Amino acid sequence: MGSAAYRSGSELRSAASSAAYRSGGKLEGERVHDYRNKGGVIYSEIMLPKDAPPEYKDRGTLWRAVDNREKRKDARLAKEINVALPKDFSLQEQIEVLREYIQENFINKGVIADLNIHNNNDGNPHAHIMLTTRRVTPDGFKGKNRELDSRQSLMEWRKSWADCNNRMFERKGLDERLDHRTLKAQGIDREPTIHLGHEAWALEKRGIKTAKGDYNREIQRRNAERAALKEAERSAQTQERREDVKAAELAEKLKARHEAEQNAKKVEGQLRAAKATLLVEAMRERQTIIKQMNELKVTYSALDKELNALKAQLDKDERKSYQLSNRAERLDENANNIKRLQGETAQLQVIRQSLSFRDGKKKKETDEEIRQAKNDIAKFQSFFRNPNNISREIEDAKKELLEKQREIRETQARIQEITKQQNAILLQYQTQKLLNDIRPDSKNIDNQLENTREPPKSVYEQLRQIQLERCLNTVSDENFRKIINTLPPHQAQELIKSRQAKEQEKSDILTKNMSKTIEKDEPERTR
């Protein structure tokens, strides 16, 4: 119980001090184990199987029950597992990994786990997992769990701990991975160092050498010597291979020269044939490129015409929708006014009928109000095409408005679709345009593209063609980034160099023109 109190930083009373030490608390039993002043305990938790008594969630109750179950004074009360925690994980992530590991390897097998995380800010965050040695049931602890003592279980626990951490590394997008195997099993020729522990780590950090630190430094020295020896062996082998390669290359060159002299005429004929084939293939490739770019340009132009027409229609429909909305609102307002005035007229008529012949003046005033209300009703009714069926006319106006709004939505959707198609076509065209610029026959392609262009039929067509050419041939920075991300690295590098050279050329021309302007203006300022 003392170990549990120490691990959790609490106070417990018992003969076993590990639980109190690990938890940094106080546990009570036959004697008190109070470690509440112990620092570094940042998290503690009791994890129970589903069939365990719920009162075992209390650390004191749990470890007193463990004590009471054992009869022999030398009985082992708990098994402890210590694990180092990756510093790349937050505290919550460390808790998540530990819970997954404990649930999979111990809780699911009927064992209770007392988990405590220690971190003294010394670069050595770690966890103590104290396990009950007996299986737990709703009635308490039963027989010993011998699986905890097998070497096979130990290897499975080590592999499971690596797997749990690696899953968290993967979820966080980190490349680091743990390997539970020994260095020898991993094929690494290096002596392993030993774990310093928090006491030795603190001393080494303060510059005080320890036996464990000296042991690790000696291992590191031997590993460095081993690495240097291997590097020297690799260098010698590399040099030997280089000499062998040079000798083989010299022999190959002599052989190639002899064969070249013997077959010069044959090779020359093959080169001429290959050159002719390449010229034909290059011509076909140019024709394919020109055809493809012309098709993209025609498609882009057709989409552009449709887009302009749709935008004009959308503008017209939006104005019409505004008018229909105003008309529907006015219809509603006038209908409400008619209904209100009809109600007021009915009330006035009731009042008129209740007046006696002695109330002549009041009758005249009431008649005048009734007449005025009827005139107002007539004015509001004149706004409707069919005053006898006002509700139908209002309903038709709202339906017409809804239909126009539906047409606007369809037009907007089509505009978005065309814009998306245009952007895709523009990207294809500009990709090919940039690739053409770094081809050795780029001028031939540009001239043939110019020759295939149809002459404009009107001034409007000419202006539209100029605008279209400018749009297609002007590659924005955003499109340039998209293009180079889709190309192989060597082509992307060539395009970047070509673009930088053109920008530098423009800058030089601008600087030269500015210098000429300054030189021209200087005599005038002198005068």
Backbone angles phi, psi at 111, to 5 degrees: -110, 140
What's the gap between Cα 445 and its chain centre? Answer: 41
522 has pLDDT over 50: yes
Q: For the chain, how many residues are written?
A: 527
Backbone angles phi, psi at 83, to 5 degrees: -135, 140
pLDDT in tens, 225-280: 877 887 888 887 888 888 778 888 888 888 887 787 777 777 776 667 776 676 67
Question: Which residues fall within 8 angstroms of residue 87, CB to CB, at 6 or more apart?
Answer: 123, 125
pLDDT in tens, 32-80: 555 565 667 889 999 999 888 999 899 989 889 888 888 887 778 888 9
pLDDT in tens, 162-176: 899 999 888 888 888
Q: Is residue 49 helix, strand or coil?
A: coil
Cα separation, 460 vs 445, whole angstroms:
27
CA dihedral 257, 258, 261, 265 (to 10 degrees): -100
DSSP letter, residue 120: -
Where are any strands of DSSP class E within 358-408? Answer: none
Helix (H) or strand (E) holding 374: helix 360-381
CA distances from 57 to 64, 94, 100, 102, 394 (A): 12, 21, 18, 16, 71
pTM of the model: 0.41
Cα separation, 278 vs 487, whole angstroms:
24
CA distances from 14 to 32, 60, 495 (A): 6, 9, 77
The upper half-sphere exposure of residue 329, i.e. CA atoms within 13 Å in the direction of its Cβ, equals: 6
Supply 524's token pair.
Answer: 């005038």
525 has pLDDT over 60: no
Backbone angles phi, psi at 33, to 5 degrees: -120, 105
**19/226: higher pLDDT:** 226
Q: Is residue 224 helix, strand or coil?
A: helix
pLDDT in tens, 376-410: 888 888 888 887 888 888 888 889 889 989 999 99
